[in-house]
Amino acid sequence: MSQSDADAVRATIQLYLDGARHGRVELVKQAFHPEAKMCGYLQGQLLVGGPEPFYEAVANAPAPASSGEPYEAKITKLEVAGPAASATLEEGPYLGMQFTTYFHLLKFDGKWKIVSKTFSHR
């Protein structure tokens, strides 16, 4: 894993985090590939599809930065293998829930993009 690729993956995830923290959906969208997939359990319900429902939540829910919710996030694992990467994120509270999120990223034309997000809240 090259340090520059690892830093670039972290920067992509930071776009996601900054967008979620501040309610800026345009930042979140910059982190995702247009054909990204998202799967996970939210309040016991299985969600499978694209990230559009998450975009809506970011755009319409109270942003932690303005609501005072003490949102924090930490990458607990990061692996880069050539043009592919995987990252595990512990985050929350976000809308009152703590999440474990698994990202898979690919490098497209020199830029890292999230191609899948799998998550569960606890």
CATH of the domain at 38: 3.10.450.50
Residue-wise pLDDT for 10-19, tens only, equals: 999 999 999 9
pTM of the model: 0.93
CA dist 64 and 119 (Å) reads 19
Mark the ranges of the chain whose per-residue pLDDT is less than 70: 1-2
* Type of residue numbered 48: V
CA dist 121 and 34 (Å) reads 24
Residue-wise pLDDT for 41-50, tens only, equals: 988 899 999 9
Q: Residue 105 in 3-state DSSP?
A: strand
CB 87 within 8 A of CB 106: no
Number of domains making up the chain: 1
What residue numbers bound the domain in which 53 lies?
Answer: 3-121
